[in-house]
Structures are given as C-alpha cells and as structure tokens.
Chain A
Amino acid sequence: MPNHQIDPNNWISQYSDYLFNYTVTRVSDRIIAQDLVSETFLAGLKSMANFKGEASERTWLVSILKRKIIDHYRKINSKKGKAEVRMSYSNDSDAEGDWLEERIADPFDKTAEDKLENAELGNAIYDCLDKLPQKQAEVFKMKTILGYDTETICNELGITASNLWVIIHRARTALADCMEKNWF
C-alpha cells in the first residue's frame, strides 16, 4: 500500500539533523558525516523512482545512508596495505604490556556501551522533536543543542524574547512528556 509520499523539497529541513546525528555516532568525524549526509540526499534524489512508499521517507533515507557509511569504511580500509601479514599474537604493537593477561579488556572501561546508549538517547530525543511543531523544535535545538544566546536566536528568527521563552516553555513541556513515555 503506497501510503507514503515522497517530496524532496522538505528533506533537508526535516531530516538532515536526524541523519547527521545518526552518522556522527557511527563515523565519529563531523566533516565526513556532513559529506555522507549530503551524498545521501543526492543519491535519494537520483533513485526517487525506486521509492515504493512502503516505508516512511526517513526510513528510506536512513537505508541509503547505511550503505554510504559502509562504503565509506570500505574505502578507508582498501587504502591500507592489503598484503600485510602480521604474525604477532596481537597486532597493536604500541599497546602496553607484553603479557596476554595485560591485554584483556578492561572491565571498568564502559565507553563502548555508554556510546551506544548515548546514540539511542539522541535518536529518541530526535523522534520526540519530530512530533513538535517545527518552530518549537527549531528554537529548542538552537537554544539547547547549539547553545546560541537568546539575542542571536531572536534576531535570526525575528521574534521577541518573551515570544522565545513561551516557545521554549511549550517545547520543554511537550518534550518532557514525550521522553517520559518513550525513554523511561
């Protein structure tokens, strides 16, 4: 059932943040992530005819983005020496300690897990932001994530300070509701 429409005019304003967040947690480089997102939009435009409407636009774009990320990792790996054969029992020669006992994973180092959780949390917040009216989401993102000060936002969007605080208040209330339902 083709109930999803495709409309590339709104892609950038609607999905670029979500896709960017998704990419950054996977390639951990802002510039590469930005390029990948840009490529994804272009690729999506080219293969728009293949969009069947079975999934939402965002899911469809994410699936393209996933391929781009895989391609990116393939590209870096092909640059490294292919024919190198390492015979040592561990291939990171600069790591501390020569004994096998010193090489097991540090049980107190939980960064990988933390990172995963952070990525999920970020996506959950974006899902909730998607449900807000666009203006509220925009103002909230500028204020909270980019950390712009009130004046800058007011000038850029052409609103008054009290107007801004009302928008922030509504956005925060709605977000807190949504996060309480979906995250905790």
Chain B
Amino acid sequence: MSKFKLSCEEANHVCDKTQYKEASFWEKVKLNLHLIYCRACRKYTARNSKLTKLVKSSKMEYLDHSAKDQIKVAFEKELAKHQK
C-alpha cells in the first residue's frame, strides 16, 4: 500500500470497512482520493452505502445465538422422540 494511492481492491476493502465504521481517518482520506478518479469504485461505494441504509431502515430482527440454542434444544428433544 503506497502512501497516497490505493488500488481498487484496497479501496473496496476500505469501503467495506467504512460501512461498519471501522476504517481509520487516513484510510478514509485515501479512499476519497481514489474515488475522485476511479469510476468503478465510485459505483461500488454508492451501492454499498445504499445497502447499508436499506438494512438499517428495515430494522431487521435476528435471533441471537443463545435464543437460537434454546429453540434448538427443545426441538432436538422432540426430534429424537420422533425418530425412535
């Protein structure tokens, strides 16, 4: 990774990281520099942030692991009975 320029691959990686607010400040500066001249990455970034917005606005619910395990235990008990 050179000091100022990112390859497209690196730019995409940084872009993925920014979706989770994990990119450092310097990385973001380099990403924006890259976006000035790279059209493909601009498109990727736009789509990526759109996806993030969508997922956030859908307020999706997802079972966490402990809850899933609870269901699984109850289910497997029945399943074992069933397959006898």
Binding site for B on A (CB under 8 A): 8-9, 11-12, 16-17, 20-21, 24-25, 30, 33-34, 37-38, 41-42, 45-46, 48, 118, 121-122, 125-126, 141, 143-146, 150, 165, 168-169, 172-173, 175-176, 179-180, 183
Contact flags B23-64 to A (C-beta < 8 A → 1, else 0): 000000000000000000000100110111011011111111
Binding site for A on B (CB under 8 A): 12-13, 16-17, 19-20, 22, 44, 47-48, 50-52, 54-55, 57-64, 67-68, 70-72, 74-75, 78-79, 82
Q: How far is the CA of A48 from the CA of B12 in the complex (A)?
A: 46
Q: How far is the CA of A17 from the CA of B60 in the complex (A)?
A: 10
Between-chain CB contacts (< 8 Å), 15 pairs: A12-B75, A17-B62, A21-B61, A21-B62, A30-B61, A37-B71, A38-B71, A38-B75, A121-B54, A125-B55, A168-B16, A172-B16, A172-B51, A176-B50, A176-B51
Known: A11-B75, A121-B58, A122-B58. A34 touches B51 (CB 8 A): no
Q: What is the total of A-B residue contacts with beta carbons within 8 Å?
A: 91
**Chain A residues whose C-beta falls within 8 Å of the C-beta of B64 in the assembled complex:** 146
Q: How far is the CA of A33 from the CA of B70 in the complex (A)?
A: 13
**Chain A residues whose C-beta falls within 8 Å of the C-beta of B17 in the assembled complex:** 165
**Chain B residues whose C-beta falls within 8 Å of the C-beta of A37 in the assembled complex:** 63, 71
